[in-house]
Structure 1
Amino acid sequence: MNRISLALALLLIVGFAVAYWQMGGFKAATVTAETTSRPYFVAGRYYAGPANDEAFGDLTRQAYTLRKAGKLRGDFGNIFYNSPESTRDSARVFVGVLVADTSSQALPAGYSYRTFAAGQRVLHARIKASYLVAPDKLYNGIKTAAEEQKLTLRHVYLEHFPDQGEPEVFAAVK
């Protein structure tokens, strides 16, 4: 019985490790210092409150539903207005869809636009990984790069999770 339990436990560990590897969990983010060359527009709704609140999840699900129904065209995108460490307790975030411009489609009721401006100095983090493991890796890469380059983060972050391509985060620096 002990050998069977040990074999099952080992099999589960190997299975989880393979799944994590397939999702890109062992990859590191690539981080570069850049200046944004264009503005990024997010169509969405603002949320301020506990990060684990159901209302926060509802906004994400609503953006997904609107994209799936074709009422908003673009990729998932959020603008966070506080540091990733503090979002565990309280999040200030504009949740929505990254869109090409502000004039080519009508906004759903209750939605508005926010802009992540062009000409900002940013740390741009990218990773070839699933959106399930990407956020922690991207933010850890940004934090490490900021420390190594002695940059001060402004705690404004643009998240972009495209259907095709690499998830990325732009972190504004002072």
Structure 2
Amino acid sequence: MAAILNTANTLFKKQGYAATTTNQIAAEAGVSIGLLYKYFPGGKPDIAWKAVEDMREMVFSEELGGATPENAPILLRRALLRFIKGHRRVSSNIAAFEMAVLEDAETAELGKHLFSIGSDSVTSILSKLTGRENSEKLQKWGSIVFHIVDSTTHRQVLHDGLSVSDEELAGALTRIIVAALTAIREE
């Protein structure tokens, strides 16, 4: 499975998500198309989803697994910096994926699914750090916070930047999240 994921990431980076086929991924990975579909029944979208899920797990779970309200600012800043740097490493993949979202309905649906993964991850973190149950209101907070973090990170990495360093951006986003945590606790 790792060979398939690594090959897919390489091909996505080299030629873009939309131009990459499952047949190319299987051939380059040295596996049969049947084996690829055994691990990824949905094909290319499942492969992309798994890559994002692995990145999410690495950034959010590893960095924030031991987060408490007291150490949250330090751990959030670290996780956010890792998130930004992770986006930098795969910026060409992200740019190609964003273009494909505009051109392909299947890719657009995958984009919505990937956004929900990020939003759900942030909602879980907000729940943990505020002691609030996962509710519709908390999910809205998670969606808003993730949208701010993701959109700002994309602007920093893919476009003209924000005239701040990645470290400064991570610090600013941390302050925004801490303010959101305070607002959630006060509701």
Per the shorter chain, which TM-score range? under 0.3
Larger strand percent: 1
TM-score, normalised via structure 1 length: 0.26
Larger helix percent: 2
TM-score, normalised via structure 2 length: 0.25
Q: Which has the higher contact order (CA 8 A, sep 6+)?
A: 1
